[in-house]
Amino acid sequence: MQKIAPCLWFDGNAEEAAHFYTSVFADSRIATVMHYTDAGPGPEGKVLAITFEIEGQEFMALNGGPQFPFTPAISLFVHCSSQQEVDRYWTKLIEGGGSPWQCGWLKDRFGVSWQIVPDALGDMLRDPDKAKASRVMAAMMKMVKLDVAQLEQAYRGG
């Protein structure tokens, strides 16, 4: 068990979300499921919370109710080693009602915000050559799903 793990607040569909996320990422699993008891506050036997792991990171999904919807103020950042990884996660996380945003961000069908980012982007943006980094930033700002080849072209000055 991790010392610190994010808890995601859902409105009755925490179990569905946990199963969806563990289907998207290969190295993942459902760890534990807790149910409401006769003490409430939810219906006895319904899922209260479900703990799952993605790539070694523990998450808890809680059926807390409609009071607190997700916002982009918190997002899950996915490091991608290739364009194929970007494409795969982008497609899977949008399926079923998600929506794309600018600069590699998307919102999945549960309202959770994700950043699907190729590792090469960070390398290019940290380049000490400010002109290269600036061209990459300008190219990224025009994108929805990030395109490694276009970012590399901007980096090279093309």
- What is the reported pLDDT for 134? 98
Q: CB of 34 within 8 A of CB of 49? A: yes
Tokens found for residue 61: 């999904």
Closest CA to 140 of 132, 72, 6: 132
CATH superfamily of 70-158: 2,3-Dihydroxybiphenyl 1,2-Dioxygenase, domain 1 (3.10.180.10)
Domain 1-67: CATH class, spelled out:
alpha beta
pLDDT in tens, 54-73: 999 999 999 999 999 999 99
Q: Model's pTM, two decimal places?
A: 0.93
Assess whether pLDDT exceeds 80 at residue 158.
no
Tokens found for residue 65: 């109710």
Assess whether pLDDT exceeds 90 at residue 151.
yes
Q: Delimit the domains of the chain by residue range.
A: 1-67, 70-158
Closest CA to 13 of 59, 60, 58, 47: 47
Please indicate whether the domains covering 1-67 and 70-158 agree at the CATH topology level: no
* Contacts of residue 62, Cβ cutoff 8 Å, sequence gap at least 6: 7, 8, 9, 10, 14, 48, 49
pLDDT in tens, 65-106: 999 999 999 999 999 999 999 999 999 999 999 999 999 999
